[in-house]
Amino acid sequence: MTATPLFEARHIHKRFGDQVVLEEINLAFMQGELCGIMGPNGAGKTTCFNVLTGHYKPDRGQVIFDGEDITGLPPRVIAQKGVSRSFQLINLFDEYTALENVLIAVPQVRDRGYNMIRDVEKDNVAIDQAVSVLKQVGLNGKELEPSKRLSYGDRRALEIAVALATEPRILFLDEPTSGMGSNIMGRLADLVRELKCHYTMVIIEHDMKFLFDLADRISVVHWGQVIAEGTPDELRANKWVQASNLGKLV
């Protein structure tokens, strides 16, 4: 008997107008795994994430999380169930400080979201939790910095911190290294390696080296389909991957 995956996408189809973007996507992520999704620009990777996290509804197919069908549920409901994601283009609360960005995502604050009387800034338990999430991504000391004034690398880290603060059971990161120079990439690789011990993660990535170093399993998406799947070693030997540009990079 094989173990059931924590998160599964079955036969996902998605089209925009007459353009088919995803065609028969099947993915399965096991508890504790770090899975990578790679593929060229326009392969449908981000659309795939958008379907899995509820931003788009698939035209056909099912999304299963922890045995429950979550297909077509709105993002907030999927998020409340413990599916969290970051974005390729930084997507923060720009006027808020780093701390406020994270604080608002802490489930304890979220559960009290309709409370109109309590003083949010005296909620020490939630604040301590937010501070520790910031520390986890290396933003300690920058808690009170407005997020728009942080450096690009710090903003990328905060992007992940907001997703982390929701106490996810599975974490989707959409191109966390997007726009980063190689000098700060190392810091992010360390962070992901550290998070890997605690979270089930799925990462879309452009940077092949980054992914091959970190991922347990990788799925290659091209033309809206999963064209290859396996461990980094298996993929290195795969003729599809070798024949494509991707092979030359790894």
Partner 1 sequence: MADIGARIGRWVTVEMLIAFAVLVTAPFWIEAVGLYQYLGVEVLIWMIYALGFNLLLGYTGKPSFGHGAYFGIGAYAFGLAQHHVMTNIWLGIAFAILAAGVAGAMVATFISHRRGIYFALMTIAFGQVFWFTAVKWHAVTGGEDGLQNIPRPDVFSISLKENEALYYFALVFFCIVVIALWRLIHSPFGKVIKAIKQNEMRAGFIGYNVRLFKFLVFTISAGIAGLAGGLFAMAQGSAYPDVMSLQVSGLVVMMTLIGGGFVSFWGPVLGTIIFFVARDILGALTETWLLWYGLMFIVVVLFKPEGLAGIWQDLTRSRRSRKESVEASPLPSLRR
Distance CA 222, CA 152 (A): 29
Phi, psi of 90 (to 5 degrees): -55, 130
Closest by Cα among 100, 110, 109, 218 to 162: 100
By rule CB under 8 A, what string of x and - marks binding of each residue 133-162 to partner 1?
Answer: ----------xx-----------------x
Under the criterion CB under 8 A, does residue 43 sit at the interface with partner 1? Answer: no
Taking the complex as a whole, the smallest distance from the CB of residue 131 to partner 1 amounts, in Å, to 6
Q: Are the C-beta atoms of residues 228 and 240 closer than 8 Å to each other?
A: yes
Candidates 112, 169, 187, 206; binder of partner 1 (CB under 8 A) is 112
Q: Which stretch binds partner 1 (CB under 8 A): 117-125, 204-212, 217-225, 233-241?
A: 117-125
Coil, helix or strand for 88? coil
Coil, helix or strand for 193? helix
Taking the complex as a whole, the smallest distance from the CB of residue 172 to partner 1 amounts, in Å, to 10
Helices 152-165 and 182-196, interaxial angle, to 10°? 20
By rule CB under 8 A, what string of x and - marks binding of each residue 64-83 to partner 1?
Answer: ----------xxx--xx---
Distance CA 221, CA 241 (A): 11
Interface ranges with partner 1 (CB under 8 A):
53, 55, 74-76, 79-80, 84-85, 87, 91-96, 99-100, 103-105, 107, 109-110, 112-124, 127-128, 131, 143-144, 162-163, 165-166
